[in-house]
Chains A and B, each alone.
Chain A
Amino acid sequence: MDAPGAKQYEALSIEAAATQAPPGALRRAAANGSVRIGAGALGVLVLIALAAPWLGTVDPTLFDAASRDLLPGRSGEITTLDGEKLRHTFWMGSDSLGRDVYSRVIYGTRVSLVVGILCALLALAIGIVCGLASGTLRWLDGILMRFMDGLMAIPAILIAIALVAMWRGSLATVIVAIAIPEIPRVTRLVRSIVLSVREEPYVEAAISLGTPIWKIMFRHILPNCIAPLIVQGTFICAFSILVEAILSFLGVGLPPDIPTWGNVMAEGRQQFNDFPHNIFFPGVFLAATVLAVNVLGDGLRDTLDPKMAKRV
C-alpha cells in the first residue's frame, strides 16, 4: 500500500495537521485586565488584613466614654485593657460607645476575607463530592438532585438566618450557614461536567484499560472541573462576604463584639443621619472587596471557562 513518495511527504502532511499549542491557561488569565485589577485589589486587602496591628490601629474592642461619636480625623483618648489612657487619632471617627471605627474596619477585613474564602472552600468541597456522586451513581442522582432543588428553592439569606438562629452565632456556624445554600450550585456544575466528560473517548478508553472508577474520577474527570470551579468559587466568595455583612447588620450573625463590617454598620444604623461615617467607611470597604472579587471572577471566567472563551 506504500505509495511512491509517501515517505517524502509524511513530514509535510503531519506538519499541516499539527495544531498549535494553546498558551497556558494561567498565562492567559494573568494577561487579562480584569484578573489583574481584581487580583491586585484583593492582594492589597489581604495585606491590610495581615498587617492590621501595624497600621496605626488599636485593639478594636477598646472603648472610651470620653471619645464617643467623634467625627473622622478628630483626636481623643482611648482606654486600654490595663486601664491606661492613650492619645489616639480617630481617622474614621468613633461610634456611640467610643470605639475606633478605623481599627474595627481594618480588623473587620480579616473576618470578611476569612468568611469569604472558607465559605467558598467549604461549598466547593461538599459540592464536588455531591456532584461526583450524583454524576456517577445513577441511583443516587435522582434523590440528591431533588434535595438540591429543594435547597435552591429557599432564598440563601433565609437558610443562613435559620441555621445561625439554630446554632448560635460564632465564626464557624456563620461560615457553615452561609456555605450550605451555595452547595447546590456547585453540585449542579460538577454533575453537568461529569455527565459530559464521561462520554469522552478518553474516559471510555480508561474504562477499557481497566482503570478503577475512582481513579477515572480523579484523574480524568475532575481536572476538567477545575477552571469552572475556580470561577464559581470567586463568586461564592464575593456573595459570602456580602451575606456575612448582611447577617451581622441584621444582628443574627457574629456577636457584636467581633469587629465585622456588618457589625460596625449595624452599630451606626441608629445615628446614621448625624454620624454617617459609621456606615460609610465599612460600606466602602465592603463594596470594594466584593467588587474586587467579582472583577477577578469575571476575568477568570473569560479566560478559563471554555464556553465563554469561544464567545470572547
Chain B
Amino acid sequence: MKAVLEIRDLTVALPAGGERAHAVAGVSLGVERAEIVCLVGESGSGKSVIAHSVMGLLPAALPVTAGAIRLEGEDLARAPGRRLRELRTTRMSMIFQEPMTALNPVMTCGAQIDEVLKEHTALAPAARRAKILDIVREVRLADPERIVASYPHQLSGGQRQRIMIAMALVLDPALLIADEPTTALDVTTQAQILKLIADLQARHGTGVLFVTHDFGVVAEIAHRVAVLRLGELVELGSKQEVLTRPRHEYTKMLIGSVPGLQPRARPLAPDALVVLATRKLSKTYSEHGWFAPRREVHAAREVDLEVRRGQTLGIVGESGSGKSTVARCVVRLIDPSAGEIRLGGEEIAAMSRAALQPLRRRVQIVFQDPYRSLNPRRTVGEAIIEGPLNYGVPRAEAIERARRLMELVRMDAGALGRYPHQFSGGQRQRICIARALAMEPELLIADEAVSALDVSVQAQVLALLEEIRTRLDLAMLFITHDLRVAAQVCDHIAVMQEGRVVEYGPAEQVFSRPRHDYTRALFDAAPGRGFAFGSA
C-alpha cells in the first residue's frame, strides 16, 4: 500500500539561544491510506511543529533544515508556496484546536466553505451550494440550510468544529491533519467529534495525522501511535503495542501517569468535623439594559454540598455547569445571590467584606492557570509570605514558614528569591499550593488545578495534593472536568449540570452505579475507558 504521507528524517531548527537546537530532530514516520496515526507528546515535544511543517505553515523562525516530507510521493519540504497553496484542502487539510479562532467571525459558515470551492474548483454556484449542503449533512449537522447561513458565534463549540471538518474534507483530501481538535471541547462533545472523524476517514479512506496529548483520545481513535519527547521520536507502533506493551521508559512513564477511571476506596471517618456546608446556594446573573428585556442566567441553583475534615469532595461537570461559580462563592470572590455557606460554625454567605476578613484565612484556592496565578513582578517568596503578613505574622516567621512549605511541595528553598517566569507550569502550581498552605487553611479549593498541566506533571501534583491532604488533615474541594482525575482524588463526587447538582454521593458509588442519565453520559464519553490506565 502506498503511503499517503511519508516523513523522513525531518529536522526543524529552533531560533538560536533556545533551550535546545531543534524543535524536531530526525523524525521519520508514515501515514497509510485509511489510517489514523496519533502523534502523542507533552508540551514542547514538537508534535504541533511536525503537523505545521507538513502543511507548510511553520513560521520563518522555524526552518526545515533537513529531511523530506512526501505527500503521495511529492516532496513538500522543497515545494514552492504556490504549489503548497494548490495542495492545501485538495490533497491535505488541517483542523485546529480552537474552532472559534480558526473560523472567520465575520463570514457565514457557508461562505467559508464556499471560499474553498471557489479557490480550487470551477463549479457553478448551484453545484457549489449542493456540495456545501452535502458535506454539512455528512458531518451530521442538523438543519444544514440554517447552519450554512449562520455565523460562527451562533454555533456551539462542537458545531464549529464540525464546520471546520466539513471545510477540511469538502474536496476529499488524501490527508487530514488534526491538531488537538477536541482539546477545547467538553467530554461529551469530544466523544461525538472523535466518532465523526473516525467514521468519515473510514468512509473516504483518508489518512489522518492526529496530534494529541491525551492518551484517552489515543486509545479511542488511533491505529498507530508515535510518541515524541523533546523533538525526538521515542516510539512508533500499533496502538495495542504501544498502550499495552510500551518499550521505551518514557512511554511507560507517560502511560503510567494517566489516571485510571477506577476510584480508589479509602476508609473515611464518618463523624469527621464538617468544615464546609452549603445549603441552597444560588448565584444568578441578571442583565438588564435600558432597552433590552431582562435576562437571567442561573450559574448555580440550590447547591447543597458538605465537605468534612480530611476528605475530598469533587465537583465534576462540563464547561458552564457552574462548578467554578460554586467555588468562587465559597471563597467569596463573588457574592452568592441566595442560600447559606457555613464555614465551620459560621454563616458567611451574607457576611460583609469587613466581617469576612478574619475568616478568609480559613479557605484558600488554587487556580487553573499557573501562568496567571502568580504576579510576574513579585518574587516567589513575596507571594508566599503576603498572606501571613496580612494576618500579623512577623516577617521572619513568615519567611521561615515559606521555607518549610517549599520543602513540603518539593522545591528548593533558594527558589524563594526568584521570579515566577523562571519556573515551569508544574513548579508554579506547587508554588501556588505553598502560597495557599501558608495561610494554614482548613479548606483547600483546587479549581481545575491540574487541568493545564502535562500528564506526567499532573500525576506529580496530584500525588502532592494527596500527601498534603493526608498530612495536614485538610478538607478539600476539588473541581475538575476530568473524570479520571476525579476518580483518583475524590472521596465524594457531586456531578453538576447547568447549575444544578444532578448526582451526589461517595465516589465509588457514583462511578460504579451512576443513577442520573447525565452522569452515565459523562462516563460513556470518557475517552479510552476501554483501556485500564493507571493500573500499571
Chain A residues contacting B372 (CB-CB under 8 Å) are: 200-202
**Once bound together, how far apart are the Cα atoms of A5 and B375, in whole Å?**
33
In the assembled complex, A3 has its CB within 8 A of some CB on chain B: yes
In chain A, positions 4-25 with a C-beta closer than 8 Å to chain B are: 4-6, 8-10, 12-22
User: What string of 1s and 0s marks CB contacts (under 8 Å) between B370-381 and chain A?
Assistant: 001111011000
In the assembled complex, B369 has its CB within 8 A of some CB on chain A: yes
**Once bound together, how far apart are the Cα atoms of A209 and B382, in whole Å?**
12
Chain B residues contacting A202 (CB-CB under 8 Å) are: 372-375
User: Provided the pairs A1-B534, A6-B256, A10-B460 are in contact, do residues A17 and B426 lie with their beta carbons within 8 angstroms?
Assistant: yes
In the assembled complex, A207 has its CB within 8 A of some CB on chain B: yes
Chain A residues contacting B390 (CB-CB under 8 Å) are: 209-212, 215
Query: Is the Cβ of A208 less than 8 Å from the Cβ of B333?
Result: yes
Size of the chain A interface, CB-CB below 8 angstroms = 36
User: Provided the pairs A8-B249, A17-B424 are in contact, do residues A210 and B257 lie with their beta carbons within 8 angstroms?
Assistant: no
Query: Is the Cβ of B367 less than 8 Å from the Cβ of A204?
Result: yes
Query: Is the Cβ of A205 less than 8 Å from the Cβ of B367?
Result: yes
**Once bound together, how far apart are the Cα atoms of A204 and B488, in whole Å?**
28
A304 to chain B, nearest CB (A): 14
Query: Is the Cβ of A13 less than 8 Å from the Cβ of B457?
Result: yes
Query: What would 7 A/B residue contacts be, using CB atoms closer than 8 Å?
Result: A3-B459, A6-B460, A10-B456, A21-B421, A201-B372, A202-B375, A204-B365
**Once bound together, how far apart are the Cα atoms of A192 and B42, in whole Å?**
36
In the assembled complex, B230 has its CB within 8 A of some CB on chain A: yes
A42 to chain B, nearest CB (A): 27
User: Provided the pairs A5-B253, A8-B253, A210-B391 are in contact, do residues A20 and B457 lie with their beta carbons within 8 angstroms?
Assistant: no
**Once bound together, how far apart are the Cα atoms of A15 and B20, in whole Å?**
10
B250 to chain A, nearest CB (A): 6
**Once bound together, how far apart are the Cα atoms of A210 and B466, in whole Å?**
26
Query: Is the Cβ of B257 less than 8 Å from the Cβ of A3?
Result: yes
In the assembled complex, A2 has its CB within 8 A of some CB on chain B: yes
In the assembled complex, A126 has its CB within 8 A of some CB on chain B: no
A134 to chain B, nearest CB (A): 19
In the assembled complex, B147 has its CB within 8 A of some CB on chain A: no
User: Provided the pairs A205-B365, A208-B360 are in contact, do residues A14 and B432 lie with their beta carbons within 8 angstroms?
Assistant: no
Chain B residues contacting A19 (CB-CB under 8 Å) are: 421, 424
User: Provided the pairs A208-B360, A208-B363, A211-B386 are in contact, do residues A201 and B259 lie with their beta carbons within 8 angstroms?
Assistant: no
Chain B residues contacting A212 (CB-CB under 8 Å) are: 390
**Once bound together, how far apart are the Cα atoms of A311 and B323, in whole Å?**
37
Who on chain A is nearest to B42 by CB? A13
User: What string of 1s and 0s marks CB contacts (under 8 Å) between B228-245 and chain A?
Assistant: 011000000000000000
Who on chain A is nearest to B257 by CB? A3
**Once bound together, how far apart are the Cα atoms of A219 and B385, in whole Å?**
14
Chain A residues contacting B512 (CB-CB under 8 Å) are: none
Size of the chain B interface, CB-CB below 8 angstroms = 59
B479 to chain A, nearest CB (A): 14
**Once bound together, how far apart are the Cα atoms of A210 and B425, in whole Å?**
25
**Once bound together, how far apart are the Cα atoms of A211 and B374, in whole Å?**
14
| Most B CB within 10 A of own CB, among A21, A200, A201 | A201
B446 to chain A, nearest CB (A): 13
In the assembled complex, A68 has its CB within 8 A of some CB on chain B: no
In the assembled complex, B364 has its CB within 8 A of some CB on chain A: yes
Query: Is the Cβ of A13 less than 8 Å from the Cβ of B454?
Result: yes
Which residues of B come within 8 Å of A, CB atoms? 17-19, 42-45, 229-230, 249-250, 252-253, 255-257, 259, 331, 333, 357, 360-361, 363-365, 367-369, 372-375, 377-378, 386-387, 390-391, 421-427, 432, 435, 439, 454, 456-457, 459-460, 462-463, 466, 488, 534, 536
Chain A residues contacting B439 (CB-CB under 8 Å) are: 209-210
**Once bound together, how far apart are the Cα atoms of A211 and B534, in whole Å?**
41
In the assembled complex, A36 has its CB within 8 A of some CB on chain B: no
Chain A interface mostly helix, strand, loop or mixed? helix
Contacts A14-B426, A210-B360 aside, 6 further interface pairs with beta carbons under 8 A come to A6-B257, A10-B456, A13-B426, A19-B421, A21-B421, A212-B390
**Once bound together, how far apart are the Cα atoms of A220 and B377, in whole Å?**
8
Query: Is the Cβ of B456 less than 8 Å from the Cβ of A13?
Result: yes
Chain A residues contacting B230 (CB-CB under 8 Å) are: 12, 16
Chain A residues contacting B361 (CB-CB under 8 Å) are: 210
Chain B residues contacting A150 (CB-CB under 8 Å) are: none
In the assembled complex, A223 has its CB within 8 A of some CB on chain B: yes
Query: Is the Cβ of B44 less than 8 Å from the Cβ of A14?
Result: no
Who on chain A is nearest to B456 by CB? A13
| Most B CB within 10 A of own CB, among A3, A4, A200, A205 | A205
| Most B CB within 10 A of own CB, among A5, A8, A209, A211 | A209
B242 to chain A, nearest CB (A): 15
Query: Is the Cβ of B377 less than 8 Å from the Cβ of A223?
Result: yes
Chain A residues contacting B365 (CB-CB under 8 Å) are: 204-205, 208
Query: Is the Cβ of B426 less than 8 Å from the Cβ of A209?
Result: no
Query: Is the Cβ of A209 less than 8 Å from the Cβ of B360?
Result: yes
**Once bound together, how far apart are the Cα atoms of A2 and B424, in whole Å?**
20
In chain A, positions 203-252 with a C-beta closer than 8 Å to chain B are: 204-212, 215, 219-220, 223
**Once bound together, how far apart are the Cα atoms of A212 and B426, in whole Å?**
29
Query: Is the Cβ of B459 less than 8 Å from the Cβ of A18?
Result: no
Chain B residues contacting A12 (CB-CB under 8 Å) are: 229-230
Who on chain A is nearest to B386 by CB? A209
Query: Is the Cβ of A206 less than 8 Å from the Cβ of B424?
Result: no
Chain B residues contacting A3 (CB-CB under 8 Å) are: 252-253, 255-257, 456, 459, 536
User: Provided the pairs A17-B43, A208-B363, A210-B387 are in contact, do residues A1 and B463 lie with their beta carbons within 8 angstroms?
Assistant: yes
Chain B residues contacting A208 (CB-CB under 8 Å) are: 331, 333, 360, 363-365
Query: Is the Cβ of A1 less than 8 Å from the Cβ of B462?
Result: yes
Chain B residues contacting A4 (CB-CB under 8 Å) are: 249, 252-253, 256
Query: Is the Cβ of B373 less than 8 Å from the Cβ of A18?
Result: no
**Once bound together, how far apart are the Cα atoms of A18 and B44, in whole Å?**
9
Sorted nearest first, the 5 A-B pairs with minimum C-beta distance are A3-B256, A209-B387, A16-B44, A17-B424, A5-B253
Chain A residues contacting B43 (CB-CB under 8 Å) are: 16-17
**Once bound together, how far apart are the Cα atoms of A97 and B421, in whole Å?**
64
A21 to chain B, nearest CB (A): 6
**Once bound together, how far apart are the Cα atoms of A16 and B425, in whole Å?**
10
**Once bound together, how far apart are the Cα atoms of A36 and B367, in whole Å?**
42
Who on chain A is nearest to B18 by CB? A20
Query: Is the Cβ of A6 less than 8 Å from the Cβ of B391?
Result: no
A211 to chain B, nearest CB (A): 5
Chain B residues contacting A220 (CB-CB under 8 Å) are: 375
Chain B residues contacting A205 (CB-CB under 8 Å) are: 365, 367, 373-374, 432, 435
Who on chain A is nearest to B462 by CB? A1
**Once bound together, how far apart are the Cα atoms of A19 and B17, in whole Å?**
12
Chain B residues contacting A206 (CB-CB under 8 Å) are: 375, 386
Chain A residues contacting B253 (CB-CB under 8 Å) are: 3-6, 8-9
Chain A residues contacting B42 (CB-CB under 8 Å) are: 13, 16-17
Chain A residues contacting B432 (CB-CB under 8 Å) are: 205
Query: Is the Cβ of A201 less than 8 Å from the Cβ of B367?
Result: yes
Who on chain B is nearest to A212 by CB? B390
**Once bound together, how far apart are the Cα atoms of A1 and B215, in whole Å?**
16
Chain A residues contacting B426 (CB-CB under 8 Å) are: 13-14, 17
